[in-house]
A and B are shown apart, each in its own frame.
Chain A
Amino acid sequence: MYLDHAATTPISAPALAALTSVIARSGNPSSLHGAGRRARATVEASRETIAKAAGAHPTEVIFTSGGTESDNLAVKGLFWSRNAAEPARKRILVSSVEHAAVQDTVEWLEKHEGAEAVWLPVDESGTVSLAALEKEMSDGGADSIALLTCMWANNEVGTIQPIAEIVALASQHGIPVHSDAVQAFGSIPVNFKESGLAAMSISGHKIGGPVGVGALLLGRAVKLTPVQHGGGQERSVRSGTLDTAGIAAFAAAAQDVTDNLAIENPRIAALRDGIIAAVRSAVPEAVLRGVDPAVNPAGRLPGNAHFTFPGCEGDSLLFLLDMAGIESSTGSACTAGVPRPSHVLLAMGLDEDTARGAQRFSLGHTSSHKDVDAFVAALPDAHARAKTAGMAGHQSSIQTASTR
């Protein structure tokens, strides 16, 4: 039973059909002959489809290799171009709960390009503080800001950020805003034009498309310094031969999810509520992290349930559930292969021990009540055992020569 759709979700039928039919045809979309034109037609049709699905103009769709590249391109590209136009613009306002693709990029710019990161605090639900944002932009502070970047929805705890309010504040000062919408797009309504964002990252494999393709939606008037140089494809912002088949499949997936969003969103949310209820009933001490959908249904991604289990190591729980056939996640990225407490949970005010007890259950288009039922059956035993195993950070109770 797969409860890790936030990591990647199975490819959808329309996407698989598009991928397999297009990949069999040769043709470089930049070539001028028949095969090239056919490939280009596929790419441009896909661009239009994705633009429509994301509420953008086709010229605003820059194809990339995925979310990480889109985030790098947006954050570095905006920083460089804004800083080059006005060297006083050194500051990057960034939420403290970003995905590593944004977090690491900002840290790299700090280390190598003279940027100054301002990590915007979040409250205990993981929502960015608008007051902190306003404070950073007041008293002429806006003049030193190169860009603001804030994810649309958090990948770990599913908290949906107040993007409209953030953009409204930033636009008073003409500050471009980028948003990593990788988790939000295809899961909740996302409209690039209405959002007023300068740039927005989306990814194929989170919505039923293949891995290795994504896009940066980039406003027509927004200037961006490229990261990758070459043949000048994609408005000269992202060089490299276009992945026609991947793009076609991405478009098919985007159309599929947006066409079905009105039905799928409440269906998946109901399954998610089943998981939340099951955890609360089996383990009353478990704490739902992020926004409680019973209080604010629009504040949380429909497919995300995230808990901390006191006294349990997240990787113990993951192991035991995996052995029982339930595939979940501790939610945080592995820093250099070592599972560490999540920076998102720490930013939300949790201590390290509590943060280590995290487990994320995420649902998607292939999820059904069978997944929830299997999870409900497996959880009590897995939790009981994980709790016995305790925390790896604590001293072992096995007595040996040096402890007696």
Chain B
Amino acid sequence: MRVLAAMSGGVDSAVAAARAVDAGHDVVGVHLALSRMPGTLRTGSRGCCTVEDSNDAWRACDLLGIPYYVWDFSERFKEDVVQDFIDEYAAGRTPNPCMRCNERIKFAALLEKAIALGFDAVCTGHYAKVITDADGNPELHRAADWAKDQSYVLGVLTHEQLKHSMFPLADTPSKAEVRAEAEARGLSVAKKPDSHDICFIPDGDTAGWLAEKIDMTDGEIVDETGAKVGGHTGSNQFTVGQRRGLKLGTPAADGKPRFVLEIRPKENKVIVGPHALLAIDEIKGIKVSWAGLPIAEVATGVEFDCYAQVRAHGDPVPARAFVTEVTDDGVTRQRLNVTLVEPLRGVAPGQTIVLYQGSRVLGQATIDTARSLARPDLP
């Protein structure tokens, strides 16, 4: 196959590309330029957006003996990922920009260009597995190493996208093994630190970064009874489940810490309450997609057992789900209705809920409403 290896400059994508070469594929390395003015050298915890990262990717390709190019996706990234991130926060939701990047950049803008230019697949260093059935239909599964598993952030990929996706790290027992392999292959990035945080927020200060982009005005923090317990400098800087940085003047009656339960951007209000009220039992999801062919119950609307996960490294909990259809302006869209058998804490609208059966990823939806049976009506 002709394979385009997306090279971030990190160790995972370098080893993934190396394995694709070993498997006999015709591989070309491409680094995605996602920022118009990338920094020169890597600082802190980010690892995909500087010229140094691009050079690291280049050196890995040199070593593998494959061609290397830098393609500019900065405009698309700005619109599809960065602007979306700002818009979602401005609407009081908590988006996952990495997921969005997989959905619209790596496996859409890049994949589409790759296919047009004659490639068969895009290869990345994600820890997840694509299993193809006898008819050529792909299924997305968790990586062998569940601790490193990244199937959650790929849960948004569709049947068409998965058909052209290649994740050579799938069965690697651990990240340590990938680093050892990089070392053995002589890849200079073997010891490069993992990247985390959001790549387009240079110092990791999300609240500070957002404050420059979103109008923030002072407002009230109220508790679950509606009583004012403090003030804030802008409701959009908070995340559901957040405990730190609330600076509440009035202590809780029981003296226990309080958490953000809900953000209401229209009222510029933040509602806080005890930990117990964070437990979410019911989730409704919009922007539904299926990772491969949907299971039979999707069409029939019959409820099915599954596991639900709401953040990249969160634990999955048992759940029941069914699909309904809503027609709006003549367009029929699916909605996902999930009942969590075990409640989850810190679930925020805007987050993605990914459904699993065993290791298989069924699909995902963006959380529209999250309901707690313990607090049916917040004031």
A319's partner among B36, B69, B160, B288 (CB-CB below 8 A) is B69
- Residue-by-residue, is A299-319 near B (CB-CB < 8 Å gives 1, otherwise 0)? 000000000000001011011
Q: What string of 1s and 0s marks CB contacts (under 8 Å) between B327-371 and chain A?
A: 000000100000000000000000000000000000011100000
**B74 interface contact, C-beta 8 A:** yes
Q: How far is the CB of A387 from chain B (nearest CB, A)?
A: 9
Docked-complex contact A401 and B35, CB < 8 angstroms: no
Known contacts A396-B112, A397-B112, A401-B289: A336-B72 contact under CB 8 Å = no
Indicate if A84 sits at the interface (CB-CB under 8 A): no
Q: In the complex, which residues of chain A have a beta carbon less than 8 angstroms from the beta carbon of B192?
A: none
Given contacts A385-B118, A400-B156, A400-B161, contact A390 B113 (CB under 8 A): yes
Is A392 in contact with B288, judged by CB distance below 8 angstroms?
A: no
Contact in complex: A338, B113 (CB < 8 Å): no
> Does B237 make an interface contact (CB < 8 A)?
no
B109: contacting residue among A315, A322, A334, A396, CB under 8 A: A396
* B80→A392 contact, CB < 8 A: no
Q: Is B179 an interface residue (CB 8 A)?
A: no
CB distance from A380 to the nearest CB of B (A): 15
Partner of B37, one of A336, A392, A401: A336
- CB pair B103–A401 under 8 Å, yes or no, is yes
CB distance from A309 to the nearest CB of B (A): 14
- Tell me if A319 and B33 are in contact (CB < 8 A): no
Interface residues of B in 58-94 (CB under 8 A from A): 67, 69-76, 79-80, 84
A402 part of interface (Cβ distance < 8 Å) = yes
Q: Are B116 and A336 closer than 8 Å at their CB atoms?
A: no
The complex places the Cα of A398 from the Cα of B109 at a distance, in Å, of 8
Asked if residues A392 and B71 are in contact (CB atoms below 8 Å), the reply is yes
User: A336-B37, A339-B33, A402-B287 known; A315 and B69 CB under 8 Å?
Assistant: yes
Question: Known: A336-B38, A339-B70, A340-B72. Is A396-B117 also a contact (CB below 8 A)?
Answer: no
What separation, in Å, do the CA atoms of A212 and B347 have in the docked complex? 60
Q: Which residues of A contact B236 (CB under 8 A)?
A: none
Q: How far is the CA of A382 from the CA of B111 in the complex (A)?
A: 18
Q: How extensive is the interface on chain B, given as a class?
A: 35 or more
Q: Which residues of B contact A319 (CB under 8 A)?
A: 28, 69, 117
Please give the number of chain A residues whose Cβ is less than 8 angstroms from any Cβ of chain B in the complex.
Answer: 33
CB neighbours of B160 from chain A (8 A)? 398-399
Cβ-neighbour of A337 out of B70, B107, B366 (below 8 A): B70
Complex CA gap A335/B36 in Å reads: 9
Partner of A340, one of B36, B67, B109: B36
Bound Cα distance A336, B70 (Å): 11
In the bound complex, what is the Cα–Cα distance between A316 and B114 (angstroms)? Answer: 9
Known: A337-B33, A338-B74. Is A401-B364 also a contact (CB below 8 A)? yes
Task: With A320-B117, A338-B36, A389-B117 as known contacts, state yes or no: A400 contacts B75, CB within 8 Å.
Answer: no
Q: Assess whether B275 is interfacial by the CB under 8 Å rule.
A: no
**Residue A395 is within 8 A (CB to CB) of chain B in the complex:** yes
Q: Establish whether residues B117 and A316, one from each chain, have CB atoms under 8 Å apart when the complex forms.
A: yes
Q: Which residues of A contact B109 (CB under 8 A)?
A: 392, 395-396
Question: Nearest chain A CB to B181's CB is how many angstroms away?
Answer: 27
Q: Which 4 A-B pairs have the closest CB atoms?
A: A389-B116, A396-B108, A401-B289, A338-B33
A-B contact pairs, 9 of them (CB 8 A): A318-B69, A319-B28, A319-B69, A335-B37, A338-B72, A393-B76, A396-B108, A396-B112, A400-B103
Other A-B pairs beyond A337-B70, A392-B75, 9, CB < 8 Å: A316-B116, A322-B67, A338-B33, A398-B108, A400-B108, A400-B157, A400-B289, A403-B104, A404-B287
